């Protein structure tokens, strides 16, 4: 059985070569395209609604449940395949598939066609992130994974920011469909680049005890699932991340529409100011959380839960201020707070899972993490917010979306509670390990 990289192991001083950093940059670029394609729907929500005549609830289903059904569920078999085959090839094919589906989004003329294309994007993106987590973990040792995965997880904020700037500008100057077509073509080119230039690493190559490709067979699907759900730390980190994503994905799915409809921002304003808020806020939060994990979690594993809990608690008043204020410049200042603080959960969650399981189970374990947190967050968050807005619209036609945003506040406290529970479990497990080795 391969050795597991323990969060409590003492740090080593192993170097990372230039090619490893190149691979990280390449995978991060693909992740940026992943989120560009995924979030373009929410960024262009207003012109799409105007063109196709769809409601907030239908928009929430497009960005939430319809996408997440395929993205989350297919992530498990794709990860199972990646744990047994070439992960780089799996990633490349997946990138080509979601890019082709993005082109189909731009060619859609009805709600049904757009829904089918969005499901296609979900099918392709199911093979994007879990193989990348595993590849990175085999290029970077445990004591550097917090930084590496933190940099990789800059893909979403950079993708969101570029999507806002690019998508809004294209839609304002030309047509919303052109933005989908151009991004889809870029993704097909990136898929070919990954296939040619990224090498498949040896599994477990950076673990303290290296794993060779011939060292036994990969654990079965059932064994990995049983291992994952039998451990309270892995189950809790998945639920805590899911509760956090309920807030983040719901917010992402409707912020552009909210700013345009109820705070009088234009697409040109959004292309500049909202893009800056996303690019700076989320990137800083994800990067800083990775550095904090590397610094504190080695000796105090409870930091994996405490860091996100504290950040989410600090985010709540800023979020309420963003929803409440009517002037969009002030709203942008308030939004910078939750945009920065909401994303302290992601790198700790991914790093904890990647460090806590054997090398041959990392891709599948990462997919299980994504399955749980994305079914809860991506699947239910936007769906909830859109449905609440539709429900409130007859009585509050002028501010139904604003009132729906307030309904996300209780979910902040659910996420905080789950992260605190995770911190207690990790602290207890660490004390038990110390006692057993004493």
CA–CA separation, 136 and 71 (whole Å): 21
- Residue 302: CB atoms within 10 Å: 20
- Residue 295 confidence (pLDDT): 82
Host H or E run for residue 156: helix 155-173
Host H or E run for residue 223: helix 221-230
CA–CA separation, 118 and 308 (whole Å): 31
- Residue 410 confidence (pLDDT): 96
pLDDT, greater one: 172 or 293: 293
CA angle 411, 311, 283 (to 5 degrees): 105
72-91 average pLDDT score: 81
Distance set, CA 330 to CA 184, 253, 327, 335, 337 (Å): 35, 21, 6, 9, 12
**Cβ contact 346:245 at 8 Å:** no
Q: Where does the pLDDT of residue 211 fall: very low under 50, low under 70, confident under 90, or very high at 90 and above?
A: very low
The model's pTM: 0.75
170-180 average pLDDT score: 81
- Residue 95 confidence (pLDDT): 93
Distance set, CA 6 to CA 24, 133, 204 (Å): 22, 17, 13
Alpha helices in 128-220 (DSSP H): 129-139, 142-152, 155-173, 176-197
Q: What is the mean pLDDT of the chain?
A: 84
- Residue 333 confidence (pLDDT): 94
- Residue 391: CB atoms within 10 Å: 15
- Burial of 16 (C-beta count, 10 Å sphere; 0-12/13-18/19+): middle
Model confidence over 277-292: pLDDT tens digits? Answer: 888 888 888 888 878 8
Q: Where does the pLDDT of residue 215 fall: very low under 50, low under 70, confident under 90, or very high at 90 and above?
A: very low
Model confidence over 40-68: pLDDT tens digits? Answer: 888 788 888 888 888 888 888 887 888 88
Model confidence over 293-338: pLDDT tens digits? Answer: 878 877 788 889 999 999 999 999 999 999 999 889 999 999 999 9
- Residue 7 confidence (pLDDT): 42
158-182 average pLDDT score: 80
Considering 207-216, 219-228, 246-255, the range whose residues carry the highest mean pLDDT is 246-255
**Cβ contact 310:399 at 8 Å:** no
CA–CA separation, 93 and 98 (whole Å): 9
Alpha helices in 83-110 (DSSP H): 87-106
């Amino acid at each position: 059985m391969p050795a597991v990289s323990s969060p409590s192991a003492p740090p080593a001083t192993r170097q990372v070569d230039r090619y490893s950093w190149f691979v990280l940059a390449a995978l991060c670029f693909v992740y940026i395209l992943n989120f560009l394609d995924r979030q373009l729907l929410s960024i262009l929500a207003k012109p799409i609604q105007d063109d196709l005549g769809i409601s907030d609830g239908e928009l929430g289903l497009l960005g939430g449940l319809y996408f997440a059904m395929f993205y989350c569920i297919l992530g498990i078999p794709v990860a199972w395949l990646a744990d047994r085959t070439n992960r780089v090839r799996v990633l490349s094919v997946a990138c080509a598939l979601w890019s082709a589906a993005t082109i189909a989004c731009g060619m859609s003329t009805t709600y049904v066609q757009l829904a089918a294309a969005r499901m296609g994007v979900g099918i392709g993106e199911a093979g994007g992130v879990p193989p990348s987590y595993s590849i990175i973990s085999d290029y970077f040792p445990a004591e550097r994974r917090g930084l590496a995965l933190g940099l990789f997880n800059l893909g979403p904020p950079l993708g969101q920011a570029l999507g806002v700037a690019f998508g809004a500008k294209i839609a304002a100057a030309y047509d919303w469909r052109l933005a989908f077509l151009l991004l889809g073509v870029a993704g097909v080119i990136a898929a070919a680049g990954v296939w040619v230039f990224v090498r498949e690493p040896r599994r477990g190559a950076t673990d303290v005890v290296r794993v060779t490709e011939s060292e036994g067979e990969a654990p079965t699907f059932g064994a990995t699932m049983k291992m994952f759900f039998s451990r309270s730390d892995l189950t809790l980190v998945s639920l805590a991340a899911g509760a956090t994503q309920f807030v983040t994905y719901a917010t992402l799915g409707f912020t552009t529409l909210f700013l345009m409809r109820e705070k009088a921002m234009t697409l040109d304003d959004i292309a500049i100011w909202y893009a800056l808020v996303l690019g700076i806020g989320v990137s800083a939060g994800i990067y800083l959380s990775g550095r904090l994990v590397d610094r504190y979690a080695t000796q105090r594993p409870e930091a994996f839960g405490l860091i996100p809990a504290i950040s989410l608690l600090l985010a709540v008043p800023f979020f309420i201020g963003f929803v409440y204020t009517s002037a969009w410049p002030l709203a942008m200042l308030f939004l910078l707070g939750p945009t920065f603080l909401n994303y302290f959960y992601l790198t700790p969650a991914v790093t904890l899972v990647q460090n806590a399981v054997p090398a041959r189970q990392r891709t599948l374990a990462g997919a299980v993490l994504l399955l749980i947190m994305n079914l809860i967050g991506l699947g239910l968050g936007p769906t909830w917010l859109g449905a609440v807005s539709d429900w409130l619209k007859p009585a509050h036609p002028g501010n139904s979306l604003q009132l729906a945003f307030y309904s996300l506040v209780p979910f902040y406290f659910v996420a905080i509670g789950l992260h605190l529970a995770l911190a207690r479990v990790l602290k207890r497990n660490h004390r038990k390990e110390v006692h057993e080795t004493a």
